[in-house]
Amino acid sequence: MQERDCIFCKIVRGEIPSKKVYEDDQVYAFHDINPVAPVHVLIIPKKHIFGIQHLEPEDECLVGHMFTVAREIAQELGVAPDEELNGGYRLVFNVGKDAGQTVFHLHLHLIGGRSMGWPPG
Ligand code: 5GP
Ligand code: ZN
């Protein structure tokens, strides 16, 4: 999938509408169109990266930044755990088709607002 046809690149460029949660020069975050929990946000790099399998050493800072942004969004949307670790959220990369990856532009799921089971289905 080239940048031109990629659905998340189109979202970054504003060609497909999205409900923005956060944006800076490196990342864009928006509400998932099909939420699996009361809070379901996708954090994506603005540059097209196919997925975890395609990360380059130069992307390490960017991926670290995605986690920092996720933590801030979780705080802002009220799903961060309290001091006793009540509440909370899950951060997920689905890597490959068996894991449920359907969009091949790197994205970090932030899922929260309900209790979740383990292991995931
Ligand atoms: P994956 O299954 O690849 O880990 O996650 C892809 C996610 O992208 C899914 O949760 C799906 O609902 C979401 N998604 C797919 N297309 C769109 C879209 O056009 N807009 C938004 N906001 N989310 C999308
Ligand atoms: Zn893309």
Q: Is the pLDDT of residue 13 over 80?
A: yes
Both ends of the chain: CA-CA distance in Å?
Answer: 27
Domains detected in the chain: 3-112 (3.30.428.10)
CA of 75 to the centre of ligand 1 (A): 22
Q: Is the pLDDT of residue 100 over 70?
A: yes
Give the dihedral sign, CA 71/68/48/18: positive
C-beta of residue 8 within 8 angstroms of C-beta of residue 107 = yes
Query: Is the whole model's pTM more than 0.95, yes or no?
Result: yes
Average pLDDT over residues 7-24: 98
> Is the minimum distance from the CB of 101 to ligand 1 under 6 angstroms?
yes
In tens, the pLDDT along 47-80 reads 999 999 999 999 999 999 999 999 999 999 999 9
Alpha-carbon distance of 69 to 23, in angstroms, equals 9
> How far from the centroid of its chain's Cα atoms is residue 61's Cα?
16
